[in-house]
Amino acid sequence: MSNSLQDRQSGASFSAAGSSLAEGKPCGKTLVFPADQPLLTDGGGRISPLTIGYETFGELNAERSNAILLCHALTGDQYAAGVHPVTGKPGWWEAMVGPGKPFDTDRYFLICSNVVGGCMGTTGPASVNAATGKPYGLDFPVVTIRDMVRAQAMLIDHLGIDTLFCVAGGSMGGMQVLQWAASYPDRVFSAMPIATAAKHSAQNIGFNEVGRQAVMADPDWRGGRYHDFGVRPEKGLAVARMSAHITYLSEAALQRKFGRKLQDRSAPTFSFDADFQIENYLRYQGVAFVERFDANSYLFVTRACDYFDLAADYGGSLALAFKDTKTRFCVVSFTSDWLYPTSDSRAIVHALNAGGASVSFVEIESDKGHDAFLLHEEMFFATTRGFLESAATARGLKGKGA
């Protein structure tokens, strides 16, 4: 492996923090794979040149054995921690990543890259197609979760890391974790698929389709060529986000936070203003989202999730995907997550057991819905710490300061 790694490294160009992309978005580290190192996609597409935007946190140890790959969810990005350069807000896993936190940056070297098809530095539909000199738009190949993982593996090769100590992520990130464990079992020492599923359900696909249709129904979408016209389908994308956002929360959380409370008024206005706080909240979420996300990217990443069915790649048997794996797994679900319910996680656990894998499974009691994995949940933190600690011992990783 080391030889091919060298080849890849010598061919890839690397730019340090502070560089920016064609679409003008600020980003941290980027890595460009030239034309002779294309990403060949499951759908028969070819992405070249391929740029990967990524961030790292903490230090890689001398043995290169303490690297953890964090896989982001649908609309996440490489900014798992620290201040997000576009929104100015904390990273999406700020609760989990940092000094002394469960993903302890004093101890582990954390890598997080923007998925292929995304819009925060990695090549996606908003990137310029070298063949036309214009943004790809719908000419971008439809990518899969496995394509995302392939691109991540190219990055990990470039960083000179043979085996990842852990691959962790929630939701779509959890799908990538499962795909990593199935595609590269020898390169994944431990894996944490969180609030996720081994395949998208009809309900999942249905919600995604609503979002895509909202984008496509916006006249400013212009068949995906909105970049050429200097417009953006902001309304459609905002509606997509609003409907998706509801699926990330639980009924109990919505009730507790908003109930039927009115927004800055004492009585209904008998109009279609945002009378209710929940309406105002969702509108805000929609508007905030379009500031940072590309509408076509939303189509592509939701599609990647829909196509995900890990068992299908192994003759319909999920257990075969993990047969004789040495990877240590910790599967986590949350009680009030109805988007990726505990039954989805349990199916993964059953397959891992049938494959003889080392697996822990914890269902965390939370009323915060699917988004619970991004929030402060003590039991989830304790689980992550315990799991990583035992994996670190098994891997022979020295403790902090040792």
For another protein, the binding residues in 347-376 under the rule CB under 8 A are: 349-350, 353-356, 358-365
Q: Which of 337, 344, 345, 366 is catalytic?
A: 337
For position 317 contacting another protein by CB under 8 A, the verdict is: no
Residue 102 CB, nearest approach to another protein (Å): 11
Longest dimension (CA), the chain: 71
User: Residue 103 is which amino acid?
Assistant: F
**CB-count burial class (<10 Å; 0-12, 13-18, 19+) for 10:** exposed
Please report the sign of the dihedral spanned by the C-alpha atoms of residue 149, residue 55, residue 298, residue 273.
positive
Q: Cα(373)–Cα(380) distance, rounded to whole angstroms? A: 8
List Cα–Cα distances, 64 to 108, 157, 275, 399, in angstroms.
10, 12, 55, 15
Residue 356 CB, nearest approach to another protein (Å): 5
Instruction: Pick between residue 137 and residue 369 the one whose CB is nearest to another protein.
Output: 369
The verdict on whether 370 is a catalytic residue reads: yes
The verdict on whether 84 is a catalytic residue reads: no
Size of site (CB under 8 A) for another protein: 26
Q: Which of 104, 147, 370, 371 is catalytic?
A: 370
DSSP-assigned letter for residue 401: T
Q: State which of residues 146, 328, 368, 370 lies at the interface with another protein (CB under 8 A).
A: 328
Residue 167 CB, nearest approach to another protein (Å): 17
For another protein, the binding residues in 376-395 under the rule CB under 8 A are: 379, 382-383, 385-387, 389-390, 393
Q: Which of 171, 250, 336, 345 is catalytic?
A: 171
Q: Cα(367)–Cα(253) distance, rounded to whole angstroms? A: 6
CA atoms within 13 A on the CB side of 331: 25
Residue 365 CB, nearest approach to another protein (Å): 7
Of 285, 279, 278, nearest in space to 237 by CA: 285
**CB-count burial class (<10 Å; 0-12, 13-18, 19+) for 216:** middle
Instruction: Pick between residue 243 and residue 353 the one whose CB is nearest to another protein.
Output: 353
Residue 329 CB, nearest approach to another protein (Å): 8
Q: Does residue 212 contact residue 205 with C-beta atoms inside 8 Å?
A: no
Q: Does residue 28 contact residue 78 with C-beta atoms inside 8 Å?
A: yes
List Cα–Cα distances, 77 to 114, 116, 173, in angstroms.
5, 11, 10
3-class DSSP state of 29: strand
Active-site amino acid positions: 171, 337, 370
Query: What residues make contact with another protein under the rule CB under 8 A?
Result: 328, 330-331, 349-350, 353-356, 358-365, 379, 382-383, 385-387, 389-390, 393
